[in-house]
Structure 1
Amino acid sequence: MSNLHNALTNRWAIPVISGTLIIAALLLGWFTEFTLFSTALTGDVRLGDVLMVAAAAVAGTRILISAIRALGVKVIGIDLLVSIAAIGAIIIGEYWEAAAVTALFAIGHALEQATLSKTRSALAELVAVAPDVALVMRDGAQVEVAAGAVVTGETVIVKNGAKVPVDGEVIDGTGALDEASITGESIPVEKMIGDRVFAGTVSRGGFLQVRATGVGADTTLARIIHRVEEAQDAKAKTQVFMDRFSAWYTPGIILLALVFGLATGDVVLALTLLVIGCPGALVISIPVSIVAGIGRAAKDGILIKGGEFLETSAKVDVVAVDKTGTLTRGRPELTDVVVLGAGMDRADVLGWAARAETGSEHPLAGAVLRAAAAEGLDFTGLPDETQPVAGKGIVVHTHGRRVLVGNPALLEQFAIPNADAAARAVEDLAAQGRTPMIVAVGDEVAGVIAVADEVRDNASHLVDALHAAGVKKVVMLTGDTRLVAEAIGSQVGIDEIHASLLPEDKLDAVARLQAAGHTVAMVGDGVNDAPALATADIGVAMGAAGSAVAVETADIALMADNLMKLPEAIGLAKRTVNNMRQNIVIALVTVGLLVAGVLLGGVTMAIGMLVHEASVLIVIVNAMRLLRPVRYPAPAPRPARVTEPVLTR
């Protein structure tokens, strides 16, 4: 019984049964004119006609049910057009037309389902890589359990060839993991103690012990799947417009057919207009491209929030980037200690800076603390009071002293005297591309320390790659000093440099670019850049695999810490929007040609439905081209150029 149920519910069951009945009817018509009965109302009723009506009933019942359900929620859809045309054809004795129209529609629907499922293949592949089992250490023994049964904090064993079942941190062992399912990067990544790992990645060698930090729905893979599901169902602005258009278009076709039927007295013409006016390809033209485009992006480690953001990304002509962690690696190291205070030495200046930075969350604090620890300085304990000053530095009370660490504006705010020497040191260090910080203890300048962040290897290619993707201008928005920003900007080739910006200044800079008519994408770390990211037309988070917040909130989340994913994302967005436009043209041209063919003669209901279904399949196949991987090679290196900042603060 279950096999029979499965056969009948298979997408191809109805087309096969209906098609078989049509073939049988045609054969009977060729070889015999056997009449079942004859009445005054219907005349001779042949067996072939009965089989044709049966074929129409088999194929059309589901169509009619769908039409009635749609009417129940006040929607006039394609199913209603086909139902009216088929019923009308039977009433006027056009049994072949009724059978052909419904059978072709059923075949087309089955083909649509089959090909549409391929556009969602990326999501299916993501689901497929989700691990089923995990090997955990319990009571000193390795125990195999369901992946969802792992408890946070447990130790999970990952052997060669196994899938990582949880998000976690390596606590022992080394190995190489294929992270393509998460980041889109095909080269395995070496893992050692302290490194993060993600569920769904595959071991390509080694032996790892992992402490589980995220399990089940709390893994990065689960969040990616959830985000892709939501994104593929989210509608673009163009799709919303097309839905509204279809809501008026379909009733309009019914009215047009009725007018033509009454005006010409040709019922067949009216019914044919119903069939060829079906907006199937038009309705599906946009969502199928969006599903394919977002799916392709997900396979490449790019999460796009939805169709609206995909469309907007295709319009981006200005990209604004933060410096630290975006153009640079985000792991600065101490490079200089300049002693200025009377009776102080290097250890004193660095020591006071380290004591202050123990209470700081600033990205540069780690560089100071690592350097102080390497030199064996004592900076244990936390400050009594820590007060960050946005865009200027930090004020700390520790060991009975007030310590300032920041830029000249901080010293000016607290009226620290004799800061000229510090300002000169700051200018000299900044000119070398380093980030200087003045250290003041009490009311005296102790010295200046400087850190430098290594520019990413592919940062110099970013601007050319973005230009190749259609971006007109790349802008740096940074809170760093102008000299540091210009040193990095000239090395990378940034078009415009906006330096010494507070978080609200970055927001203002983005707003000014938008006011000038630009569509702006902002790339940042999501902390100091949060206002600008929220204001930009597209907010981009890079290296989002380790951030649940970025995966859920960013308009575009680049899972890998790879700058070149940004032009790839913009290029894919433009390809997808172009694909949508192509599909709309295909759909409109098909309907126009069919209408002309009906009015001029030669296009029947069956031919109209055949061409209609063919146009639907062409639209889907065209969208499936987006599933093909397209790589965007980095441009050849070119000499760096010096650019002047456009905005000054």
Structure 2
Amino acid sequence: MQRYILSKKNTITLISGILIAVAFTSKWTVENMDIFTWSLIIASLLGAAPIVIQAYQALKVKVISIDVLVTIAVFGAFLIHNYEESAIVTFLFLFGAYLEQRTLNQTRSAIKELIEMAPESALKLMENGEYEEVEVDEVEVGDILLVKTGAKVPVDGTVISGEGYINEASITGESVPVKKIKDSKVYAGTILDNGTLQIVADRVGEDTTFGKIIELVEEAQDSKSEAERFIDRFAKYYTPAVLVIGLLVWLISKDIELSITILVLGCPGALVIGVPVSNVAGIGNGARNGVLLKGSEVINDFSKLDSIVFDKTGTLTLGNPTVAETEYYGDNIEEVLSYLASVERESDHPLAKAVLEEIGETTFFSVENTEVIKGGGIIANVNGHKIAVGNVHLMERENIELNEKVRSDIARFEGKGNSLVLTAVDGELKILMGVRDQIRQGVKKDLQRLRRLGVKNLIMLSGDNQGTVDIVSRELGLTEAYGNMLPEDKSEYIKRLKGKGQIVAFVGDGVNDSPSLALADIGIAMGSGTDVAIETSDVVLINSDFSRLPHALGLVKATARNMKQNIFIAVSVVFILLAGVLFSEWVNMSIGMLVHEASILAVILNGMRLLSYKLKY
């Protein structure tokens, strides 16, 4: 029965609220006091049921929780026939718990989704020289495997023959496919975009990098225990104190009504609703401004933040390589762009897509005598012209003149972290393009806002090469930046920061970020990221709008202050009322009730101020 009642707590809250509305409507419209009284009695009994059960369960484990005080207060109100107070208090208590619980529904479905993303089969070289499809659990270290275009790499291994481009976003988070040749390392769970690879298994099963990601998420989620609520800690001392005072008053004065009045006035109506209303108002403001906050525990830790650690791709950068800069040399550029597009359309290189997107609609020509220069680019004949598309090495190989102006442009492009695409027609350089994953617009200003809000360290961790990472770091003015980092490296770094006593947030968007998101004190996911990252996180920036991050931090700081203000108001009023009852004659039951209800209104109005919060700078 207890379990059934607790499972219907939200339904009970709704019914109690309806009954209270019916009670006051009947009183104010038709002045029917019978309906008023019985509606409040039923609402009180219904609302008290789950609270009494929770109080009983707390007492069983020798904990005097706030549920105990609310239970005693409700019974006290019943004894002096103050059904209005008992009904309102139970409803506010249950409704506040409901609002807070709604934001704390972090599930463990992230683990399930990670497991579903893991490779299930592999093409294994058998003794007869043929490849057969086997379950990935049957693969052992040293086995030879074949990976075809579009397939997932089944294990961590080393390429022994073939070449191709692998999308390693599930491991490194980087969007640009990585070329793999003989002796290159490959990771389980990554996808071969094109080509065919023969690999030897180095690590299998749970020992693979992907397996470690799953393990890290599990460990990190287990390590993130919820802090005990401040109100419960306060109630540990507050509840016995009120009970002792009430008992002493009864023993000394023999006035049962006075004793019950003390218990009723000691009821934490404003205290119960003060924190939830701040939370709900803050969370509501966040939702309207593109920020999803997952509960009061998040708000508390987030507001005390020392360091923010960022993944690079998809977080500080857009996550899609594009042509960032272009220089044209000579005439007939439109025609040259058509030749370039025609050649790139034939290419499977990851930079080709960015170039084609930059050129857009154009005329395509047939491409003949295509020659792929390994590590250089492509040479082909287009419309009677010899076209060379590739890097500086290819241009030098083809004796293309690179004058001082061109050399200066190349140095400038490379200095900004661009990958270069040069195009020459009939031995003459015509186009220089710089392709890179561009920094999100306005990120530098947003990072400055975070500093002004008190964040001491802004750190970037990335699977990209250190050179590119350093360029982005310098441009954004970050405290520290580290490249060539796998998920376990990022997690270890987070652990070290937390070991120094820092409160750490991690901002990321991919499956590979899940362990760090879960391990950090505050995990912040970009809304366009994977479901795994979003569910593992504590904060979600809806629509991946990075500019919402400073708003989120400012909001949680304001919400944390608001909660403290409400707690102070609630506790102060209770102590003033209790002192007034015991040491003066000006506080009677009616005045006490008036002040008590006014305090509830005060904390609600104070909390509602958060709905209009805006970051001032």
TM-score by length of 2: 0.55
Matches within 5 A, 1:354-365: 354-355=347-348
User: C-alpha offsets along residues 548-602 of structure 1, whole Å, 9 cap, x if unaligned?
Assistant: 4454343211112322111111111111111111111111111111111111122
**Counterpart residue type for residue 588 of structure 2:** T
- State whether structure 2 residue 321 is matched by structure 1 residue 332: yes
Q: Extract unaligned runs of 5+ from structure 1.
A: 1-5, 25-50, 90-97, 124-234, 337-345, 358-363, 380-392, 394-404, 406-426, 439-448, 634-649
Partner of 1:571: 554
The secondary structure found in structure 2 opposite 1:321 is: strand
Structure 1 distance, partners of 2:96, 2:610, is 13
Structure 2 distance, partners of 1:624, 1:460, is 32
Matches within 5 A, 1:168-567: 240-243=229-232, 245-246=234-235, 249-250=238-239, 253-333=242-322, 354-355=347-348, 366-367=353-354, 432-435=415-418, 451-542=435-526, 544-545=527-528, 548-567=531-550
The secondary structure found in structure 2 opposite 1:453 is: strand
The secondary structure found in structure 1 opposite 2:441 is: coil
User: C-alpha offsets along residues 586-638 of structure 1, whole Å, 9 cap, x if unaligned?
Assistant: 111111111111111221122222222221221111111111141454xxxxx
Partner of 2:153: none
Structure 1 distance, partners of 2:367, 2:492, is 42
- Quick check: 1:15–1:103 contact (8 Å CA) kept in 2? no
Structure 1 distance, partners of 2:236, 2:358, is 67
User: C-alpha offsets along residues 318-339 of structure 1, whole Å, 9 cap, x if unaligned?
Assistant: 1122333322333223679xxx
Partner of 2:68: 76
- State whether structure 2 residue 600 is matched by structure 1 residue 616: yes
TM-superposed deviation, 1:305: 2.2
**Counterpart residue type for residue 73 of structure 2:** L
Residue 237 and residue 280 in structure 1: after superposition, are their counterparts in 2 closer, same or farther (change >3 A)? farther
- State whether structure 2 residue 572 is matched by structure 1 residue 589: yes
**Counterpart residue type for residue 595 of structure 1:** L
Structure 2 distance, partners of 1:103, 1:614, is 15
User: C-alpha offsets along residues 366-402 of structure 1, whole Å, 9 cap, x if unaligned?
Assistant: 54786999998989xxxxxxxxxxxxx9xxxxxxxxx
- Quick check: 1:104–1:613 contact (8 Å CA) kept in 2? no
- Quick check: 2:517–2:533 contact (8 Å CA) kept in 1? no
Structure 2 distance, partners of 1:238, 1:604, is 39
TM-superposed deviation, 1:457: 2.5
**Counterpart residue type for residue 476 of structure 2:** V
TM-superposed deviation, 1:516: 2.2
Structure 1 distance, partners of 2:549, 2:572, is 35
The secondary structure found in structure 1 opposite 2:560 is: helix
- State whether structure 2 residue 55 is matched by structure 1 residue 63: no
TM-superposed deviation, 1:465: 0.9
Structure 1 distance, partners of 2:448, 2:435, is 28
The secondary structure found in structure 1 opposite 2:448 is: helix
Structure 1 distance, partners of 2:227, 2:592, is 27
The secondary structure found in structure 2 opposite 1:319 is: strand
- Quick check: 1:431–1:487 contact (8 Å CA) kept in 2? no
TM-superposed deviation, 1:461: 0.4
**Counterpart residue type for residue 71 of structure 1:** V
User: C-alpha offsets along residues 81-102 of structure 1, whole Å, 9 cap, x if unaligned?
Assistant: 2443552x4xxxxxxxx5xx44
* Identical aligned residues as a percent: 37
TM-superposed deviation, 1:284: 2.1
The secondary structure found in structure 2 opposite 1:479 is: coil
**Counterpart residue type for residue 52 of structure 2:** L
Task: Pick which of 370-379 and 484-493 moved more.
Answer: 370-379
| Root mean square deviation of aligned Cα | 4.9
- Quick check: 2:41–2:83 contact (8 Å CA) kept in 1? yes
TM-superposed deviation, 1:251: 5.9
**Counterpart residue type for residue 492 of structure 1:** L
Q: Extract unaligned runs of 5+ from structure 2.
A: 1-14, 57-66, 104-223, 327-338, 369-374, 376-389, 391-409, 422-432
TM-superposed deviation, 1:466: 0.5
Residue 555 and residue 238 in structure 1: after superposition, are their counterparts in 2 closer, same or farther (change >3 A)? closer
TM-superposed deviation, 1:535: 2.7
Residue 281 and residue 264 in structure 1: after superposition, are their counterparts in 2 closer, same or farther (change >3 A)? same
TM-superposed deviation, 1:277: 0.9
**Counterpart residue type for residue 23 of structure 2:** I
Residue 428 and residue 477 in structure 1: after superposition, are their counterparts in 2 closer, same or farther (change >3 A)? farther
**Counterpart residue type for residue 578 of structure 2:** V
Structure 2 distance, partners of 1:503, 1:547, is 15
Structure 1 distance, partners of 2:240, 2:27, is 28
Residue 10 and residue 267 in structure 1: after superposition, are their counterparts in 2 closer, same or farther (change >3 A)? closer
User: C-alpha offsets along residues 97-117 of structure 1, whole Å, 9 cap, x if unaligned?
Assistant: x5xx4446657888x69x989
**Counterpart residue type for residue 331 of structure 1:** N
Partner of 1:226: none
Partner of 2:583: 600
- Quick check: 1:431–1:484 contact (8 Å CA) kept in 2? no
The secondary structure found in structure 1 opposite 2:544 is: coil
Structure 2 distance, partners of 1:530, 1:9, is 42
- State whether structure 2 residue 23 is matched by structure 1 residue 14: yes
TM-superposed deviation, 1:546: 7.2
Structure 1 distance, partners of 2:479, 2:608, is 36
The secondary structure found in structure 2 opposite 1:497 is: strand
TM-superposed deviation, 1:272: 2.1
- Quick check: 1:63–1:83 contact (8 Å CA) kept in 2? no
Structure 2 distance, partners of 1:271, 1:605, is 10
Structure 2 distance, partners of 1:588, 1:554, is 33
Partner of 1:93: none
Structure 1 distance, partners of 2:299, 2:572, is 25
Count of residue pairs brought into register by the alignment:
408
Structure 2 distance, partners of 1:283, 1:238, is 18
User: C-alpha offsets along residues 241-265 of structure 1, whole Å, 9 cap, x if unaligned?
Assistant: 4246547744653443122211233
Matches within 5 A, 1:628-639: 628-633=612-617
TM-superposed deviation, 1:487: 2.5
TM-superposed deviation, 1:483: 3.3
The secondary structure found in structure 2 opposite 1:332 is: strand
Residue 480 and residue 85 in structure 1: after superposition, are their counterparts in 2 closer, same or farther (change >3 A)? closer
- Quick check: 2:417–2:436 contact (8 Å CA) kept in 1? yes
